[in-house]
Every structure is written in structure tokens, then in C-alpha cells.
């Protein structure tokens, strides 16, 4: 049996959710409300003492860290392969997953937290928020939460994040002008990784990510959004954050380069 502890089907939680859906693996969903600090409650800390989400329990195994978790899912379960056989394409997939995780995601996350998550969470009592932050096991996460909840990101930090997002968006657009998917012609974990970060680019960066300036990113996002596994996964969302993915609905005039189950 597989049990997945997750939040909304975006960012880190969305990666194993979408990988499991693509493989056709049924799992027990344990929704953790990140904005209510469910991930720092004692019952979850018994599963993952670091208090981060997602976490997956497969039999007696407990797996954390969303990107290697996706590779475990691809290895451990039957279903369509989510990594290419070609060594060059597999290298390309892993290169991009590293780029997404270490460069693109932190900067996009900082902007997202300052615009979306922080203002939502700040509606709660400040004393309650400070107490919740003190319960976070990892110091790095305490610092990140404190900055987000109390709007403590410096202008230099935000400016550097915006610069990185602009650069990364340009690199991704150029890459997708030459390749249908992240690793080439094969849909892979690299696309799952990138989609769960990039789906909100047209909303958070509308002046830089749109049909005119980044047509290849927009088409890539729409192609992934139209896959049955993506629709199924995003239907599990409970907040307006998940509903934002509807911005990728294809208009009648937008071209379609393919999709489905390539």
C-alpha cells in the first residue's frame, strides 16, 4: 500500500502526485494544510521528523524529498516509463531537474511566498504564527517561514529572485523552441518537475511569460495540463491556488502541437 502525505498539487507535493497518476498507482491521500502548519504536528513528525512535505510511505519504507521520490516511483511500480532509455535524453532530464530544483524553484518560490502564501497566512494571529514557527524542526525552514509570514524578504533578495526567474524563463523558452519536452521527444519526470513549478508563470510573471513572448513555454504547459493524469491530479486541490491552473485552458484560437500520452 502507498500513502502519500501532501499539500496542494503544485510545487513539491505535485511531483509525486503526478508521477503516481502517470504510472496508474492508487494511493491513500493524506492532505496536510501547509498554511495551518499540519506538517509540524506530532503525528506527522513521527512520519517525517524534518516536518517537510511531501512524504510517501510504501510498505515499511518512508521516502522524502520530492525529486528522488519521483525516480523511486518510476522504478518501484509498473506502468509507463517516466524516464527515457536514451542516455543523452536521461542526462538532459536530470540536468533540467537539477536546474529546476536548485536555481529556478528557490527564486520562484520566494516570489510566490511574498505574493500569495505570506499574505494569506498573515491573516492569522501574529502570536499564533510565531509559536507555530518555533515548532518547525529545521532552522532553514524557520527562517524561510519567518521571512514569508512577516514580510521580511529584503528588496535585494527579491530583486535577485526576479533576475533569476527572468533568466531561467529565457533559458527554458530557448530550450523548448528546440525540444517538444524537457529531455527531447519523450515526456518524462523532467516535465513533471518543471510543470509543477512553471504552471503559475503566466500568472506571477504575465509580462514575461505569455503567448507572445514565450509561446513555447505556454504550449508546453498546455500540453502537460491536457494529459489525463494532470487533470486527475489537479482536481485534488482544495484551495484557490490549485484553481489557478485553469489559466492554461486552451482558447479556441491557440494552436495545439500535440499532447496526450507521448
**Of the ranges 49-53, 104-108, 128-132, the best mean pLDDT one:** 49-53
pLDDT, average across residues 67-74: 98
Is the confidence at residue 262, as pLDDT, over 60? no
pLDDT, average across residues 191-204: 92
Bridge partners (DSSP) listed for residue 4 = 29, 56
Average pLDDT, the chain: 89
Cell numbers for 195:
510543470
- At 149 the pLDDT is 75
pLDDT, average across residues 139-156: 80
Residue 43: CB atoms within 10 Å: 8
Domain boundaries, the chain: 2-76, 87-248
**Residues 2-76, CATH architecture:** 3-Layer(aba) Sandwich (3.40)
- Note the pTM of the prediction, 2 decimals: 0.88
Which position has the higher pLDDT, 167 or 255?
167
Which position has the higher pLDDT, 127 or 116?
127
| Backbone dihedral angles phi then psi of residue 31, each to the nearest 5 degrees | -80, 130
- At 220 the pLDDT is 98
Q: For residues 175 and 189, what is the distance between their CA atoms, to the nearest angstrom?
A: 16
- At 15 the pLDDT is 98
- At 42 the pLDDT is 92
Q: For residues 193 and 236, what is the distance between their CA atoms, to the nearest angstrom?
A: 18
Q: For residues 49 and 80, what is the distance between their CA atoms, to the nearest angstrom?
A: 32
- At 118 the pLDDT is 66
| Backbone dihedral angles phi then psi of residue 55, each to the nearest 5 degrees | -140, 145
- At 44 the pLDDT is 95
Which position has the higher pLDDT, 235 or 251?
235
* CB of 49 closer than 8 Å to CB of 61: no
- pLDDT tens figures, 149-189: 777 778 898 899 899 999 999 999 999 999 999 999 999 99
Is the confidence at residue 254, as pLDDT, over 70? no
87-248 in CATH: which number?
A: 1.20.1050.10
DSSP codes joined into one string, 132-196: HHHT-S-HHHHHHHHHHHTT---HHHHHHHHHHHHHHHHHHHHHHTT-SSSSSSS--HHHHHHHH
Is the confidence at residue 30, as pLDDT, over 80? yes
Tell me whether residue 120 is exposed, middle or buried, using C-beta atoms within 10 angstroms of its C-beta: 0 to 12, 13 to 18, 19 or more: middle
- At 67 the pLDDT is 97
Cell numbers for 42:
506530532
* CB of 243 closer than 8 Å to CB of 199: no
- At 136 the pLDDT is 85
* CB of 20 closer than 8 Å to CB of 47: no
Listed in sequence order, the residues at least 6 apart from 111 whose beta carbon sits closer than 8 Å to its beta carbon are 158, 161, 162, 165, 204
- At 122 the pLDDT is 67
Amino acid at each position: 500500500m502507498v500513502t502519500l502525505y501532501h499539500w496542494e498539487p503544485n510545487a513539491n507535493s505535485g511531483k509525486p502526485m503526478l508521477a503516481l497518476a502517470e504510472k496508474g498507482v492508487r494511493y491513500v491521500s493524506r492532505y496536510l494544510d501547509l498554511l495551518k502548519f499540519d506538517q509540524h504536528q506530532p503525528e506527522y513528525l513521527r512520519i517525517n521528523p524534518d516536518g517537510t512535505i511531501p512524504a510517501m510511505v510504501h510498505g515499511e519504507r518512508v521516502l522524502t524529498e520530492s525529486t528522488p521520490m519521483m525516480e523511486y516511483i518510476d522504478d518501484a511500480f509498473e506502468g509507463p516509463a517516466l524516464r527515457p532509455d536514451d542516455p543523452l535524453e536521461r542526462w538532459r532530464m536530470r540536468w533540467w531537474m537539477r536546474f529546476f530544483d536548485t536555481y529556478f524553484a528557490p527564486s520562484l518560490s520566494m516570489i510566490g511566498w511574498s505574493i500569495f502564501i505570506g499574505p494569506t497566512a498573515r491573516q492569522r494571529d501574529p502570536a499564533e504564527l510565531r509559536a507555530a514557527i518555533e515548532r518547525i524542526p529545521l532552522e532553514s525552514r524557520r527562517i524561510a517561514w519567518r521571512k514569508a509570514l512577516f514580510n521580511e524578504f529584503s528588496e535585494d533578495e527579491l530583486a535577485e529572485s526576479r533576475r533569476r526567474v527572468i533568466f531561467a524563463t529565457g533559458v527554458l523558452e530557448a530550450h523548448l523552441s528546440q525540444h517538444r519536452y524537457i529531455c527531447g521527444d519523450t515526456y518524462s519526470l523532467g516535465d513533471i518537475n518543471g510543470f509543477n513549478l512553471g504552471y503559475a508563470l503566466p500568472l506571477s510573471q504575465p509580462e514575461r511569460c505569455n503567448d507572445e513572448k514565450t509561446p513555447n513555454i505556454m504550449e508546453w504547459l498546455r500540453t502537460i495540463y491536457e494529459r489525463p493524469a494532470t487533470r486527475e491530479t489537479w482536481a485534488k486541490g482544495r484551495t484557490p491556488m490549485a484553481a489557478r491552473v485553469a489559466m492554461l485552458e486552451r482558447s479556441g484560437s491557440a494552436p495545439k502541437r500535440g499532447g496526450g500520452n507521448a
